[in-house]
Structure 1
């Protein structure tokens, strides 16, 4: 028997701001709230589906330094350049973590400075089985 990742938890000072950002980026919706924490995930699937949900967990303890874990995202319906423009327009910013400039990915940060990478390869979206 094995485990699988069902939720990713991100500590943040403004869960609503990050929920709005990541919902825009990933096409997610708000699934629920517990106190100040907000869980977002794919529409019509809820927790435990094929994609992990994100829990934006309110914290007053600011992060220090580079996170040991980051998210990678791939475009699903456009090329990398067009997706980069969409992410920047949604509130992402470019981030410098020491890359050389020759990488095939872009290092970005969400509105609270959490780094993530936009990879080059276009992937298929997860099939929408909510209409079946």
Structure 2
């Protein structure tokens, strides 16, 4: 037997803002709300091939770079078109010392959490 990642938990100041952002990015929907936390995930709900994300309210300031970040790949367009879509959704490009030759873009969500847009396009689930 082995484990599967079923949920990712992201502490944040404003779960509503991040829920809207990540639902737009991942084509997720709100699955549950509980005491200020919001769980988002695929339309099929919890337990499918994709983990859900719990956005958990935390008023502590973010200190430095996250030790874990999310990588995303476009499913229905090329990387340049997906970059434009993510920027329009509220992502910002982030400079963490890239050379400009990398096949990925480093971005941040509306609360400054870094994530990468990779070049390869994946088939949708």
Same fold (TM over 0.5): yes
Q: CA deviation at 1:46?
A: 1.4
Q: In structure 2, what is the Cα distance between the partners aligned to 1:93 and 1:38?
A: 23
The Cα RMSD (Å) is: 0.5
Q: In structure 1, what is the Cα distance between the partners aligned to 2:61 and 2:9?
A: 15
Matched, 1:60 2:90: no
Q: In structure 1, what is the Cα distance between the partners aligned to 2:95 and 2:68?
A: 16
2:71 is paired with a residue whose SS is strand
Which segments of structure 1 move beyond 6 Å, counting only runs of 4 or more? Answer: none
TM-score normalised by structure 1 residue count: 0.93
Matched, 1:21 2:21: yes
Structure 2: tracts of 5 or more residues without a match: none
Corresponding residue of 1:130: none
Q: In structure 1, what is the Cα distance between the partners aligned to 2:96 and 2:14?
A: 23
1:46 is paired with a residue whose SS is coil
Question: Would you say how many aligned residue pairs link Structure 1 and Structure 2?
Answer: 125
Q: CA deviation at 1:62?
A: 1.3
Q: CA deviation at 1:98?
A: 1.4
TM-score normalised by structure 2 residue count: 0.99
1:103 is paired with a residue whose SS is coil
Corresponding residue of 1:4: 4
Q: In structure 1, what is the Cα distance between the partners aligned to 2:95 and 2:56?
A: 25
Corresponding residue of 2:94: 95
Corresponding residue of 1:36: 36
Q: In structure 2, what is the Cα distance between the partners aligned to 1:33 and 1:91?
A: 23
Q: CA deviation at 1:124?
A: 0.4
